[in-house]
Amino acid sequence: MYKVYVTDHDYPDLAIEESVLAPIGAQVIGLQDRTGAHLAQAARDADALMQQYAKISADTIGSLKQCKVIARYGIGLDILDVKAAHAAGIVVTNVPDYCLEEVADHSISMALTLLRSIPTYADATRRGTWHWSAWNRPIRRLRGSVFGFVGFGRIAQNMAHKLKPFGLELLAYDPYVSAGVMHSHGVRKVEFDELLRHADLVDVMCPYTPETHHLIDEAAIERMKPGALLVNCARGKIVDNAALHRALTSRRLAAAALDDTEEEPAKQTDWSPNDNPLFSLDNCIITPHVAYVSEDALHEARRVAAENVRAVLLGQVPPNAVHYRN
């Protein structure tokens, strides 16, 4: 019998995984090690790992004596040492087409919410103020406003298609995507500095890497338009939260919307909103890392991740193998 350990999960059960893996004689064992600190011991005899939030380091990988595959439930690989896994002969898989619609829709929803100053107006009416001037900044017409993408992968491309009818001017910075590809989506390719200087709203849509850690830092924020808006539905650590807090309290930026914060609460065992002062600000909307969420997306991620594991355990090539690049 194969042993498939789920490092951690916030699903109510593991029925989807079991429906895919039990027919090949695999036992699905649920752990709840969000930090990954105890995986080396708890999953030592794993034939496969399925990873949600837990970090899997080179040390942990070195302790896995018979593991054949590590399957990410999502797209990102920043919490997994892919190089160490491949060096150990372990196949790595992810779900590359997962939640493209959901994250695009969530990010657009956050952007429109800020552009129309909806949270400020909602708070004003709760306090008894019923007047158009209760905005947190003068509201510009959407048509003609400048929307800047930091990163122009598949999710941003999906967003560009959906934003076109609003008449926004779309800019994007991405050193890995050509001007021609951007033009085909109705987007103008610019350098990072130009995007920051011209965008009324900056939307972060790049992967988290050592190069993008704190990409949106104090220096970047200083180059943004006074009163500009920031949305981040990518990894929390791309935005320097301390710098953002200073910019929001000084009103250098009018408002921000984040789907995760720098400390990544989902990966903590003991978290409080008091850990991050951004949660105390009325001009910062924070959702609990839910941009990817829909019932359809969650079921798809679990099924595809389990199918990747099944393929490897059966000696087949998985549909979503990740290839390590130096």
Catalytic residues: 235, 264, 289
Q: Are 148 and 198 in contact (CB under 8 A)?
A: yes
Q: Are 307 and 46 in contact (CB under 8 A)?
A: no
Nearest-angstrom CA–CA distance, 100 and 283? 27
Nearest-angstrom CA–CA distance, 46 and 305? 16
**Positive or negative, the Cα torsion across 76, 81, 87, 92?**
negative
Cβ-Cβ contacts under 8 Å for 3 (sequence gap 6 or more)? 26, 27, 29, 45, 46, 47, 48
**Which of 263, 218, 302 shows the shortest CA–CA distance to 50?**
302
Please tell me the chain's helix, strand, coil percentages from 3-state DSSP, rounded to the nearest 5: 40, 15, 45
Nearest-angstrom CA–CA distance, 41 and 27? 18
Maximum distance among all Cα pairs of the chain, rounded to whole angstroms: 67
Element (H, E) at 195: helix 192-198
Rounded (5°) CA angle 273-289-201: 95
Beta-carbon neighbour count of residue 114 at 10 Å? 25
Nearest-angstrom CA–CA distance, 73 and 69? 13
User: How long a stretch of residues is the chain?
Assistant: 326
Element (H, E) at 313: helix 295-313
